[in-house]
Amino acid sequence: MFTSIFFYFLASIAIASAIFVVLNRNAVYSAIALVLCFFSLAVIYLLLEAYVIAVLEVFIYAGAIMVLFLFVIMLLNLGLEDAFPYFRHLQRALSLFMVGLFFVGIFLIMFNEQGILHQPGEKFSAGDIYALGEALFSKYLLPFEVASLLLLVALIGTVYLAKRKI
């Protein structure tokens, strides 16, 4: 009971801040709202007893990535952006309409469907760092290693494209 009230509270904060991110005209405000969104997600993870994931969410997304975002936004010194340039042209209004239709469709399907998403059979305690480590280095060994390759490529690309003199 208490948990579900808390969940709906957090979920509505998450959604509201996510909407705020999109609609706000000030990029800095959007970034802060996104951080708030990550925080509410982290607390939802806490409700699921996934402590590691919750802390990592704050540590990596809120603490590292969004700081860099903010850094870039400030350096670019963006002005106020118009949140609704889409209504200016018929074509864009049409695209907005189609997107809206898509989402309404998805919502209708989801509300008609009483099915519930999969509950993991065995208790995989994501709050347990040992379980996480074991999964990463046994079952998901190959994806783990490929992910490192992926990051290497991203690193090479960033250095190649952005460095002033190579």
- Report the interface residues with other proteins, using CB under 8 A: 28-29, 32, 35, 51-52, 55-56, 58-59, 62-64, 67-68, 70-71, 74-75, 106, 109-110, 112-113, 115-118, 120-121, 127-129, 134, 137-143, 146-147, 149-150, 153-154, 156-157, 160-161, 166
Show the CA angle centred on residue 117, arms to residues 60 and 65, nearest 5°: 10
Nearer to other proteins, 7 or 51 (CB): 51
Closest approach of other proteins to the CB of residue 66, in Å: 8
Q: Which residues contact 80 (CB under 8 A, 6 or more apart)?
A: 25, 26
Nearer to other proteins, 13 or 32 (CB): 32
Closest approach of other proteins to the CB of residue 89, in Å: 16
Nearest to 33 by CA among 1, 6, 66, 74: 66
Nearer to other proteins, 104 or 147 (CB): 147
Q: Which residues contact 63 (CB under 8 A, 6 or more apart)?
A: none
49: left (phi over 0), alpha (psi -120 to 50) or beta: left
Closest approach of other proteins to the CB of residue 67, in Å: 5
Closest approach of other proteins to the CB of residue 84, in Å: 20
Cα 18 to Cα 144: distance, rounded to the nearest angstrom: 30
Burial label, 53 (beta-carbon count in 10 A; 0-12, 13-18, 19+): middle
Nearer to other proteins, 4 or 138 (CB): 138
Cα 115 to Cα 107: distance, rounded to the nearest angstrom: 14
Closest approach of other proteins to the CB of residue 139, in Å: 6
Nearer to other proteins, 4 or 77 (CB): 77
